[in-house]
Structure 1
């Protein structure tokens, strides 16, 4: 049996050096990944997954609270909801949508009669102009149908990025992140996706939320902000993520029990 030739010290050095370079490159890559993630959120991937797992148990099928009967009435309802409550908008649109649930019916109703239905909503005159104008555009440019893309939706008068995202999600089942005041507050307060603008918060949330939770994520965040992590006084004692939350001013760090049996 032939005895293997012992490796020279030079060969050993080369192998050791190559291994060191590979390990160094891997460490640099891991470090860069951690730095990128730190710039997006204060949470680990496991923490984010656990946050949305709990939200999914509390509200398995979250729904938007604006009442509507089709994509057109959803566009109108969301446009009317700017600087107004969903409750107030629903109160006004219940009767409105009985008589004007298509762009043509809205045009037939006319601006002055529309104002009569939405007078209780803030900025009702400007919103009435936008609703009539977007109805005209839908008929003229889209055959009376609500378009499905963000770019097209944002060409409608009174429709911004948030409204477009809501319509894409609720009307067409396209995963989006509608950043309203609640989501913007949570993104910054919880350090989940801190940003100076809604667009920055939206971009970060879309990048950190696990794909299998993304479709319902904006509703979970909106509802959590509306009913638990409130603007004036967060109700930390009622929070299901109190132990994970990184809000420096939180008043509880023990989460409330989740409903139903839990794994493990």
Structure 2
């Protein structure tokens, strides 16, 4: 995709949604961190249902430790991989208290040292909680980047590197949200809504769907 087309792509997405936000519900960096850990292989809708029950009971590292792993499991049992996620969230809460005064760090290395926090989770927290121009590549963004030609790659790390290089600086901070929402609601996996897509003419994908 040509640089001018990349700029136009994001100009249109920004015009459609000037202030994109994560669909995960949270009020603090810790709530966001927990929600993102829970969101692995789960929908935002499912995570929000669980955290609406969980956060009124435990929304700080100390409260989470007080709740305990068994208590946490009961609150998140509707979410996939809840046993492993409960273990990681309790361990992460303990490390936040021991190493960071109970605060979520804004440093990538410190974030990725927390149990259950990989590069994608760290990118989301850095972007959403701290305003860093990072791009967390999930399945939706991976699909959109490859289909459109915006940033083709064989794995998420390659796509992330290319996106950070290809996305115009003006749009980099919100690019993660625009791309994930576009992949979630328009450029879907099985039958993308190409006739309704505002960037269809810029997209290099040869198998566009038709409206009939």
2:86 matches 1:124: no
Equivalent residue for 2:161? 203
Q: Is the contact between residue 69 and residue 101 of structure 1 (CA under 8 Å) also seen in structure 2?
A: no
2:70 matches 1:112: yes
Structure 1: runs of 5+ lacking an equivalent: 1-42, 254-264
Equivalent residue for 1:137? 95
Equivalent residue for 1:192? 150
2:19 matches 1:61: yes
Runs (4+) of structure 1 exceeding 3 A deviation are none
* Count of residues in correspondence between the two structures: 211
Aligned partners of 2:45 and 2:159: how far apart in 1?
26
2:170 matches 1:170: no
Aligned partners of 1:46 and 1:189: how far apart in 2?
18
Q: Is the contact between residue 183 and residue 225 of structure 1 (CA under 8 Å) also seen in structure 2?
A: yes
Equivalent residue for 2:199? 241
**TM-score relative to the length of structure 2:** 0.98
Equivalent residue for 2:138? 180
Larger Rg: 1
Cα drift, residue 252 of structure 1: 5.1
Equivalent residue for 1:146? 104
2:176 matches 1:218: yes
Structure 2: runs of 5+ lacking an equivalent: none
Aligned partners of 1:223 and 1:82: how far apart in 2?
17
Per-residue displacement from partner, 1:98-146 (whole Å, max 9, x unpaired)? 1111100000000111111000000100100000000001011111110
Q: CA RMSD in A?
A: 1.0
Q: Is the contact between residue 13 and residue 178 of structure 2 (CA under 8 Å) also seen in structure 1?
A: yes
SS in 1 for 2:124: helix
